[in-house]
Amino acid sequence: MSFMSIIQCFLKPSGITAHLMKLKDDSLILDVGCANGSCSKIKKILPRCYYHCIDINKQNINEMKKINDYMISSSRDFSRAISRINREFDCIISKHNLEHCEDWKGTLNSMIKKVKVNGYIYLSFPSSQSTNYPSRKGTLNFYDDSTHNHIIDSHFVIDELVNNSFEIMTYKKKYQPIGLYFIGFLVEPFSKLFNKVLIGTWEYYGFETIIIARKIKMNE
């Protein structure tokens, strides 16, 4: 465990780093809407994992040598692309992807079907309350990002997961971990002054919704 990973786990105990630390080293992982650097970060924590990713273009996948498998798809076709994957995963990660999808409910349903029994799904997306937050560079108000297509209904997400034999492990409608919240409180005057999202700004406002769920049995 690296020092940086320890710090990230301490500051964001429900964040992706803390979640990955709980998985087996050889886990099969699907990263939906992977960002640049995502593979390296995951491989540092789980060096023996099988990493499969899907994104809208190769420009977002700059670590091809480390990636075990990948797919390119338009955001419109994410649901169908995921459905065509011929395997199930120990963990599916969707960090700030659903809000960009034209068919976010279909994409969610496709991801749900690709999780192994006792596997996990990790979801993060802007809180529905972020539509009321001030506008900042780096996105604090939902509409700051012109590529956002849908406000995600977290209650719908939870209902879909529960109805498909998932147990909700973590639900943070407005994720405000105390350490980063306090940092955000301290830097808020500077964030306002420079009109820019700084470290802790998201946590101060509670910009993210985070849901972590485990599949407890096969669907009946």
The CATH number covering residue 122 comes to 3.40.50.150
Answer yes or no: are the C-beta atoms of 143 and 97 closer than 8 Å: no
Range of the domain at 53: 3-178+207-215
Residue 189 falls inside a structural domain: no
Instruction: State residue 70 phi and psi, 5-degree precision.
Output: -150, 160
Residue 192 falls inside a structural domain: no
Contacts of residue 67, defined as CB under 8 A and 6 or more positions apart, other chains included, come to 39, 51, 52, 53, 61
Answer yes or no: are the C-beta atoms of 151 and 128 closer than 8 Å: yes
Q: What is the pLDDT of residues 84-128, one digit of tens each?
A: 999 999 999 999 999 999 999 999 999 999 999 999 999 999 999
Answer yes or no: are the C-beta atoms of 127 and 206 closer than 8 Å: yes
Q: What is the pLDDT of residues 40-75, one digit of tens each?
A: 889 899 999 999 989 887 655 556 666 788 888 887
The per-residue pLDDT for 87 is 94
Residue 143 falls inside a structural domain: yes
User: What is the rounded CA–CA span in Å between residue 16 and residue 178?
Assistant: 17
Q: What is the pLDDT of residues 201-218, one digit of tens each?
A: 999 999 999 999 999 987
Q: In what order do the strands lie in the sheet with 69-72?
A: 69-72, 50-55, 28-32, 89-95, 115-126, 208-215, 166-172
Residue 115 falls inside a structural domain: yes
The per-residue pLDDT for 62 is 58
Q: Is the pLDDT of residue 143 over 70?
A: yes
Residue 190 falls inside a structural domain: no
